[in-house]
């Protein structure tokens, strides 16, 4: 999650009651820097638009972009208004009769990155847009907190793209705006790496500023505790995070549990046919016996390639428990994370350096899917599996886990950190933890996280294929729980209630 923690820190911001006087001395440089960042965000958005047109129609693409700029002047006004508060006040007074209501929620998140925070922020925005009727606030969005991915943008359904354009043009009056900084705290004002600051002009100008974040270890860094305590509120997804944030020093009055929504209509197993994952998966170990049936029981795992995700635990358990004769296959849908993508050699080298002995019947096959899967095709990936497994050492929430549960898949997942909010013996196979281990490198060095049990994982995976009836019953219960507790309409109500409480509070 923390992609830039080791970057050089900038100076801390002055206290809120000194912000306006200090702004006068550096406003030009600050506004110029922010203008450059905004311009970069706009450029990415326009590039995304251009990529949505056929490459052979370049002339028409350019003409469309020119038309967009001339016919929608408020697109730029909404951005430039941050740098001239007088101008923005005049604009919003003129537009106030057009845009109702006057209160605004500016949701700043990595909407274009395709990572975990991106997926989560989209889930909130979609839920609020669809399920909050007659809201007291209008919704605006802005890219913040991570790099943009044109591949991810291209894979979004068209209705999500249309909503992005609509919400990006929303006009907000600063003193009537609640800003949601939906990212890791290092991206909050002043950011520790190059990104659009959140909130854009510091903490004193807005009605309220909310940080939405989470951590995958047993604590929060002292620097991030300070950043959390600058916020009016800090939204975290689980009781686990409420406990760890407060114990780390975050003001208990600021910490609010806001669970994540899962789009149970989009992730609905009745709507999809399985994707032919054998055509897109690359076999990196085993699976070369042509006499075996192609109807394997498929274990699926979805994660970015990093030690925290426990891929080593999964490989050990799977290869020790199964051979090619068992008729199983393990598919890893993965991508790079601060490393190269040579997953074939990573897996082979890991097996060769381990104490795992090759079965007499040959290795149980392992396949890697490292190509980009469009958002619209994700449900079909889950539909192709018999069970989902993730032996992570720590999760903020675990979106692939709840996506699999919404798709009625039996799920095996580590019973620690974020997933404890929704894993039960009835709806899943909670994976027991052997012990806690110290994080030895990276931004979490010195923290502790879980070491899932290899032996317990072996038993749970074997149980999933030995008792299909029980596994399917867990999958059915999992979907029922996702609908009951985390469907968009349920979570939209939770978020809207808290926003309304903020609006009701005299600032």
Domain layout of the chain by residue ranges: 16-259+490-504, 269-486
**pLDDT at residue 387, rounded to an integer:** 98
115-121, long-range: CB within 8 Å, 24+ apart, which pairs? 115/146, 115/304, 116/1, 116/396, 116/397, 116/399, 117/1, 117/145, 117/146, 117/182, 117/183, 117/184, 118/146, 118/152, 119/399, 120/182, 120/260, 120/397, 120/399, 121/182, 121/212
Sequence-distant (≥ 6) Cβ neighbours of residue 24 within 8 angstroms: none
Which fold does the domain 16-259+490-504 belong to in CATH? Rossmann fold (3.40.50)
Do strands 328-335 and 366-369 pair parallel, antiparallel, or not at all (unpaired)? Answer: parallel
What confidence score (pLDDT) does residue 288 get? Answer: 59
Structure letter (DSSP) for residue 72: -
Q: What are 471's two structure tokens? A: 């596994």
What CATH fold (topology level) applies to the domain 269-486?
A: Rossmann fold (3.40.50)
| Predicted confidence (pLDDT) per residue in 144-153, tens digit | 998 888 889 9
Angle at 321 between CA 315 and CA 325, to 5 degrees: 110
Of 118, 108, 112, the residue nearest 48 (C-alpha):
112
| Residue 140: its H or E element | strand 137-143
Q: Are 198 and 140 in contact (CB under 8 A)?
A: no
The whole-number pLDDT of residue 287 equals 75
Q: What is the pLDDT of residues 8-29, one digit of tens each?
A: 333 334 444 443 444 444 444 4
pLDDT at residue 102, rounded to an integer:
80
Enumerate helices (H) and strands (E) in the chain, giving the number of each: 17, 15
pLDDT of residue 340: 66
The confidence score (pLDDT) of residue 394 equals 98
Sheet with 366-369, strands from edge to edge, namely: 282-285, 366-369, 328-335, 297-304, 387-390, 411-414, 429-431
Q: Is the entire prediction scored with pTM above 0.75?
A: yes
**Alpha-carbon gap, residue 10 to 194, rounded angstroms:** 11
Rg from Cα positions in the chain: 24
For residue 98, the model assigns a pLDDT of 47
Same fold yes or no, 16-259+490-504 and 269-486? yes
Q: What is the pLDDT of residue 339?
A: 61
pLDDT of 90 reads: 41
Give the C-alpha separation, 182 to 109, whole Å.
Answer: 5
**What per-residue confidence (pLDDT) applies to 183?**
97
Of 368, 405, 372, 333, the residue nearest 156 (C-alpha): 372
Q: What is the pLDDT of residue 443?
A: 86
Q: Quick one: CA torsion of 480, 481, 482, 488, rounded to 10 degrees?
A: 90
pLDDT score recorded for residue 289: 52
Task: Return the sign of the alpha-carbon dihedral for residues 191, 197, 200, 206.
Answer: negative
Contacts of residue 189, defined as CB under 8 A and 6 or more positions apart, other chains included, come to 13, 181, 197, 198, 199, 200, 202, 203
Q: Give pLDDT < 50 ranges for the chain.
A: 1-38, 40, 43-44, 46-99, 290-293, 507
């Amino acid at each position: 999650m923390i992609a830039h923690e080791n970057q050089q820190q900038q100076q801390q911001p002055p206290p809120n009651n000194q912000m306006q006087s200090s702004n006068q001395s550096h406003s030009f440089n600050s506004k110029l820097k922010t203008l450059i960042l905004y311009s970069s965000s706009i450029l990415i958005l326009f590039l995304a638009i251009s990529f949505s047109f056929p490459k052979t129609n370049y002339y028409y693409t350019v003409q469309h972009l020119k038309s967009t700029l001339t016919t929608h002047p408020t697109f730029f006004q909404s951005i430039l208004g941050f740098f001239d508060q007088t101008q923005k006040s005049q604009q919003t007074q003129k537009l106030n009769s057009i845009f109702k209501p006057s209160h605004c929620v500016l949701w700043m998140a990595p909407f274009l990155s395709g990572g975990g925070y991106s997926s989560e922020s989209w889930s909130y925005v979609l839920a609020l847009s669809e399920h909050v009727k007659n809201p007291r606030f209008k919704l605006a969005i802005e890219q913040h907190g991570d790099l943009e991915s044109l591949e991810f943008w291209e894979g979004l359904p068209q209705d999500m793209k249309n909503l992005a354009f609509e919400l990006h043009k929303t006009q907000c009056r600063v003193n009537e705006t609640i800003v949601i900084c939906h990212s890791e705290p290092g991206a909050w004002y002043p950011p520790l790496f190059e990104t659009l600051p959140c909130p854009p002009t510091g903490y004193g100008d807005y009605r309220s500023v909310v940080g939405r974040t989470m951590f995958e270890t047993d604590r929060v860094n002292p620097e991030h505790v300070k950043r959390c305590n600058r916020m009016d509120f800090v939204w975290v997804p689980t009781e686990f995070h409420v406990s760890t944030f407060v114990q780390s020093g975050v003001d208990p009055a600021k910490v609010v549990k806001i669970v994540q929504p899962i789009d149970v209509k989009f992730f609905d197993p009745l709507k999809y046919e399985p994707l032919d994952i054998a055509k897109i998966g690359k076999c990196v170990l085993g699976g070369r016996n042509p006499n075996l049936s192609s109807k394997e029981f498929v274990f699926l795992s979805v994660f970015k390639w990093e030690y925290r995700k426990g891929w080593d635990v999964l490989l050990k358990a799977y290869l020790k428990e199964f051979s090619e004769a068992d008729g199983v296959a393990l598919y890893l849908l993965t991508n790079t994370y601060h490393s190269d993508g040579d997953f074939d050699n990573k897996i082979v080298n890991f097996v060769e350096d381990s104490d795992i002995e090759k079965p007499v019947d040959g290795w149980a096959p392992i396949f890697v899917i490292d190509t980009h899967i469009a958002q619209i095709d994700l449900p079909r990936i889950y539909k192709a599996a018999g069970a989902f497994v993730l032996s992570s050492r720590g999760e903020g929430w675990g979106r692939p886990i709840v996506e699999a549960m919404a798709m009625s898949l039996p799920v095996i997942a580590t019973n620690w950190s974020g997933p404890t909010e929704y894993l039960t013996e009835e709806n899943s196979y909670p994976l027991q933890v052997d012990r806690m281990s110290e994080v030895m490198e990276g931004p979490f060095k010195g923290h502790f996280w879980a070491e899932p049990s290899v032996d317990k994982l072996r038993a749970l995976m074997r149980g999933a294929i030995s008792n299909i009836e029980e596994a399917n019953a867990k999958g059915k219960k999992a979907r029922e729980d996702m609908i009951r507790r985390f469907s968009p309409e349920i979570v939209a109500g939770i978020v809207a209630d808290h926003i309304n409480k903020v609006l009701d509070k005299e600032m």
